[in-house]
Every structure is written in structure tokens, then in C-alpha cells.
Amino acid sequence: MSNKPLGRFGWHEVMTTDTDAARDFYPKITGWGTSVWNGGGEPYEMWMNGEMPVGGLMHLPAPEVPPCWLAYLTTPDLDETLDRVRTHGGAVLKEMAVPEVGRFAVIADPQSGVIAVLEPEGETPGHDGAPNIGEFSWHELATTDADGAWAFYSAVFGWEATSRMDMGEMGFYQMFGRGARPLGGIFNGPPEMPAVGWLPYVMVPDAHAAAEAVKALGGKILQGPMEVPGGDFIAHCMDPQGVAFAVHATASDGEEEG
């Protein structure tokens, strides 16, 4: 396998109106620490899961950008990938290069879901094994046309369909992966959803405890905690600055319903 694989979720960046508040909030939910990297010209604060960086912390770059988590997909060839983005109806919103990191672009899919693409200069972030506590375990796209979105992402990033779950009037929940590694799902969001967008899930020891911590720290629980097929537990959350994310705990003796 290439050391710069196509379609791996390799980095996650929270863009927020209050970096101090985010720095205080997320470590109490996820167990992360922070570290500042000075190699790119400007200091860049990273989320650290032990000794492993898993993402970054950034103040909103422009007033028109909503607070969000921005996921990065890796590619061995950014130019080729961006050509496929355009060919399959997507748009390239921004391109940049960061010394010692690589080249990246922010793109929008045909339904306006936003994600980033990274061609790393050195070691590729992320890995293909099962997620560990404190890592991102699942990525879910709520969109207006799940079949169209799936056609786009599978063509551009080579994702493979794993299974589909019938959601009745909402259509199918299309799950996808890279080889044997499951990555996430794509589905038609409800009519009242505020916008098309990706929701990242962070692995925690206990989804119920994490949800209680979210509420205690001024965040909101949007859905859950609830059990999902297979016995795992999830909760959809929002931080105090309005950024949506989810927590995920595997089925275990330590995860109890209630």
C-alpha cells in the first residue's frame, strides 16, 4: 500500500470562534492534550492523543466560514484528485501549501458538503487499523442526495461500499470503507437539518460519561446516547461555540445503558 494512500481520513481540524474555550472543552471529553508546532511559518496548535497528533485547533479563518470540524482525506497526487473533483461535479474552494506538511485543498462535493484533501510531504497522518481511544472512529455525511454524494466520493477517493441500512422514507444509510477498514456512512438528512455536512466521531471509553461531561461543560446533546447495531454507543453533541461532533464507545462491560 502506498505510504500516501488515497481516501484515508488523516487529520481533523476544529475551526472555532473561541480557541481558548475549545482548548478547555475538548480535552475533558476526549483526553487530548495540545502541542504547538512552529514549522509552518506561524504557530499551529495540535491536538495530541498521547504522543500522537490527531488534529489541529484554529480560529475561524473568515467570517463567512461557519464553526466546524474539517476532516482531511489523504491523496498521493493532489492535482489528479482535484481534477477528479471537478470532473465529478465538485468544486475546489481553496488551495495551499505548508512547508514540511504538504499541499492541501478545501473542496465541496456536488451537494455542498465541505471536506479537505491533503498530499503530505512526509509521513501520512492517520492509520488503517482499528481506532484507538482518542482517535476519530467514524465519519458521517448528512446530505440532500445520498446516492449522488456516494457516486462522487467513491469515484474521487476510491471508497468501497460495505453495506446499506434501510432508513425507510429517508432512503438508505450507505456505509463505506477502504478495503476491510470501515470509515463511515452517507445518508439523506432530515428536511430541517441546517446544512449539508460531515460529522466526525471520536472514540471515548464511555459515551454516557462523555455526554454528561459535554453538558457539564456548557455543550449540548443533540441525540443520544444511544445503542447502535453491533452494541456500540454513540452521542451527537455540540460544543459551546456551536461546533457539532459525536462520541463513540465500543460495546464493553464498562459501557452501560442509561
Q: What are 200-241's pLDDT values in tens digits?
A: 999 999 999 999 999 999 999 999 899 998 899 999 999 999
Are 151 and 104 members of one domain? no
Are 70 and 27 members of one domain? yes
Say yes or no to pLDDT of 255 above 60.
no
Q: Which pLDDT does position 258 carry in this prediction?
A: 40
Q: 180 vs 31, which has greater pLDDT?
A: 31
Are 91 and 152 members of one domain? no
Are 113 and 142 members of one domain? no
pLDDT in tens, 106-145: 999 999 999 999 999 877 777 778 899 999 999 999 999 9
Report the alpha-carbon distance of residue 69 to residue 55 in Å, rounded: 10
Are 97 and 146 members of one domain? no
pLDDT in tens, 43-87: 889 999 999 999 999 998 777 778 999 999 999 999 999 999 999
Are 166 and 238 members of one domain? yes
Are 162 and 69 members of one domain? no
The whole domain housing 37 covers 9-120
Query: In whole numbers, what is the pLDDT of the chain averaged over residues?
Result: 90
Q: Which of 58, 92, 120 is the last residue of a domain?
A: 120
